[in-house]
A and B are shown apart, each in its own frame.
Chain A
């Protein structure tokens, strides 16, 4: 009886202490613990994505279909170079003829100060783009400038993550940006499989209405844990439009010239 009372009292004291400590934020809460877990999952996913190669180049086909209109196809080349915790990306359109010369350089060497340069076919040279431009759709597709910057790596330090669900198939995670001016989206929901490969992302606007859904349909996985989507489908509910991005060829190359990742190269 005395033992029971002591145990009960101890539990009550522990519970009370926990409540007080948690109330005043003196210990990490259960939610905070899951938040860390969610962030670690995302970090692990991109770590596996990036560790596969220091650089790569891809030949990509883009198909855009708007309800009631014919499908438009574009081809482009994409070069990506990974550094310790950053990356540089160059995109150059090849066809159709009217888009040839359209090019984008994304420099995330310092992710807190991401920089982009855009060259339109009618411009003599590349211009720096920033701010509101990042929320705009790029080249008539459903990928915004911001999406293009995050296709090869996420700046996890800019987001708060929350684990929404976990199952034998993987994780479902919510990402909200810490500083609203850093993103056009109010929220993202990210699905990952058990190999840490991202299979789906839902994008919500600042009113938390669903804008579009990205699905990585053909996922290629490598023995060291690396992963790449070979077929991506972005279904835009708000615009009633579908963009399908197909990687036709990919080459991992550790010797991509530094000259490629320059403003001058956009105009070549």
Chain B
């Protein structure tokens, strides 16, 4: 890590900073392995109210390397992939921050989600589903204007315009499609969020029009399509007793197929959705300084008819007609299941983030599928950490998780910052 601080020397803060991290991941499935090596760099330059940031990742993925080699041999029918070593621009933006107004332009992470996973307001982020079980958020090219009142309880406005949406990347390796699926051209998107904090309550209202960043399969053309999507919603965060927190999201969604096909039996569909999350912390349960965090979240959606989400199509691409009804009930992996119960139990042995044990689960109660993730992360000196994870997928073969029931995996991760 290199930093050049001119901080506080002049009328305003200025600093330059360069961080680099090496990230290695090894995944072991029942009958295959995958390794990912990534060199991530982050460059920030700040001068007075200006902030310039470039984040990149140089990635080597063994699965993509294998597929790339396979394509070169056969060249027929198989998905074409990028080269085994590739450079990702993760963020590249310029921001000006005045007293109350912040303006940023460029490739940037945009996140409106309030709850941890499956947020209906996570509309901006496309996802890299190359590793289906650990999707990574992708940045969007956007213009963002944020205005904030002088007082902490004043109303805040957040306007985002995204002229050309970045699209999600479909799974590779264990979860890959057998054939190439070209994508349609994306549309522009915009959204407005108005939020405030009053009497310890965080309240926000959302309006969005754009695309559903989770791709669906246009079966007629065998292309990845992106439904257009409009959203109106509101969220509320409220402290309960001493250490509990309640988060609620609710909204109405309108969704249309971009190719004019029907969404299920409807050319246009609308539905309402809500999520309730309860979070609580405990301290000193077994030892003086241990810390526990428990999170339980329930999400449900009514009157839902969505297109077939592409990320769960791997085994049903050529599904027989009788599975059509099932396929239409396969829900949007990125944002919601029809009914899902999410949870997390985290244990920090001494409250210093040195060693953290966590159990996370996602249960699709409507289709009877579930995912369990047990992880242990331990800090190595002050420069990095290693983590070991065991993920198990179970359920009926007609459920999202159940169709991958033989894809349990053990994953080792080493992250070193320098």
Binding site for B on A (CB under 8 A): 57-59, 72, 77, 88, 94-100, 107, 109, 113, 115, 120-122, 124-125, 127-133, 135-137, 139-140, 181, 249-251, 253, 255, 257-262, 264, 268
Contact = CB atoms under 8 A, between A and B. Distances in A.
Interface in B163-214: 197, 199-200, 202
B237 A137 contact: no
B379 A131 contact: no
Contacts of A129: 281
Contacts of B33: none
Given A99-B382, A136-B283, A77 B7 contact: yes
A257 B51 CA distance: 13
Interface of B: 1, 3, 5, 7-9, 11-13, 19, 21, 49, 51, 97-102, 111, 113, 116, 146, 148-153, 156, 197, 199-200, 202, 237, 239, 241-243, 245, 279, 281-283, 289, 291, 351-353, 356, 377, 379, 381-385, 417-418
Contacts of B239: 128, 130-131
A262 B148 contact: yes
22 contacts: A57-B8, A57-B13, A59-B7, A77-B7, A97-B1, A97-B382, A100-B417, A109-B152, A121-B353, A122-B377, A131-B281, A132-B242, A132-B243, A136-B283, A249-B7, A251-B13, A258-B149, A258-B150, A259-B101, A259-B146, A261-B152, A262-B148
A97 B417 contact: yes
Contacts of B199: 113
Given A109-B151, A251-B13, 17 more contacts: A59-B7, A97-B417, A98-B385, A100-B19, A122-B356, A125-B113, A128-B202, A131-B281, A132-B242, A133-B283, A136-B283, A253-B11, A259-B97, A259-B101, A259-B146, A261-B152, A262-B148
A96 B111 contact: no
A113 B12 contact: no
A95 B245 CA distance: 30
A132 B281 contact: yes
A97 B148 contact: no
A125 B110 CA distance: 12
Nearest to B239: A130
A250 B13 CA distance: 11
Listed residue (B245, B279, B377) with the most chain A CB atoms within 10 angstroms of its CB: B245
A260 B98 CA distance: 10
A98 B417 contact: yes
Given A124-B111, A136-B291, A131 B243 contact: yes
Contacts of A107: 152, 197
Given A113-B200, A128-B245, A130-B242, A88 B384 contact: no
Given A109-B152, A113-B199, A96 B243 contact: no
B281 A133 contact: yes
A181 B156 CA distance: 32
A136 B291 CA distance: 9
A96 B283 contact: no
Given A95-B1, A136-B283, A137-B351, A264 B245 contact: no
Contact of A259 (B21, B102, B291): B102
A131 B351 contact: no
A261 B245 CA distance: 21
B413 to A, nearest CB: 12
User: Main SS of chain B's interface residues?
Assistant: loop
Nearest to A88: B152
Given A77-B7, A259-B97, A97 B281 contact: no
Contacts of B281: 129, 131-133
B219 to A, nearest CB: 34
A260 B46 CA distance: 14
A264 B149 contact: no
A140 B352 contact: yes
A132 B8 CA distance: 35
B122 to A, nearest CB: 10
**CB-CB nearest 8 A-B residue pairs:** A131-B242, A96-B382, A97-B417, A131-B243, A249-B8, A251-B8, A140-B352, A109-B152
A257 B98 contact: yes
A125 B385 CA distance: 20
B115 to A, nearest CB: 11
A264 B382 contact: no
Nearest to B148: A258
A257 B49 contact: yes
Contacts of B102: 257, 259
Contacts of A131: 239, 241-243, 281
Contact of A135 (B3, B101, B283): B283
Contacts of B243: 130-133
A264 B12 CA distance: 21
Contact of B97 (A95, A125, A257): A257
A109 B153 CA distance: 9
A120 B356 CA distance: 12
Contacts of A251: 8, 13
Contacts of B283: 132-133, 135-136
A257 B99 contact: yes
A260 B1 CA distance: 24
Contacts of B152: 88, 107, 109, 261
B43 to A, nearest CB: 14
A115 B352 contact: no
Given A120-B353, A258-B150, A98 B49 contact: no
